[in-house]
A and B are shown apart, each in its own frame.
Chain A
């Protein structure tokens, strides 16, 4: 059984650019959620995908968008990068829409915007 894998592990982008982060969910999991973790803070919910559709979104602007593919892997896209987007981006997978077993988290992608 594989866990959640994220790529790349680190990324440096320039303000105004666009970035795509990738996530492969744990085997058997069909729900993927994305979180942003700024330095010294807890993770903040960006959105969730279930069966290839976004079914929940946190307080993030539309320039944060995502996709989920038939194999349940997912992408997070951020357009028009701002300096404040510098953070650790975490992907988490779970089974269905219940939280009985909690999330399985990936190791994250560290994004630095300069």
Chain B
């Protein structure tokens, strides 16, 4: 079965602390993975995708096929990072189906 698991509903850190949002997936073959973010009162938007190996707003995510993980990391959290974060996996079938995790709310305190 194709599945995305985000084990933490809430992650609470202080400003300047490192952040790691966990994501594990279940998929046969080569996965395409994404992180989406939803800031308060805004729409869901793409944060980063693993194929581009980019860093966006200081966030990075590395695909670990051995551990079937795609954790999102940032070395120093900022208050403006507070948001809902969703890990997503492109499902098989040749079309644009995304399988989302339940999401993790990141709260960064001053």
Contact = CB atoms under 8 A, between A and B. Distances in A.
Interface residues of B, number: 27
Interface stretch (A14-22, A39-47, A62-70, A72-80): A39-47
A35 B98 CA distance: 9
A23 interface: no
B1 to A, nearest CB: 11
B74 interface: no
Contacts, number: 67
A41 B49 CA distance: 21
A42 to B, nearest CB: 3
Contact of A48 (B34, B88, B95, B102): B95
A103 B34 CA distance: 10
Interface of B: 4, 6, 9, 32, 34, 36, 43-46, 49, 51, 86, 88, 90-91, 93-103
28 contacts: A33-B96, A33-B98, A42-B6, A42-B86, A42-B100, A42-B102, A42-B103, A43-B86, A45-B91, A55-B95, A56-B93, A56-B94, A56-B97, A58-B97, A90-B44, A94-B96, A97-B96, A98-B96, A99-B32, A99-B98, A100-B51, A102-B34, A102-B36, A102-B46, A103-B98, A105-B44, A106-B43, A107-B43
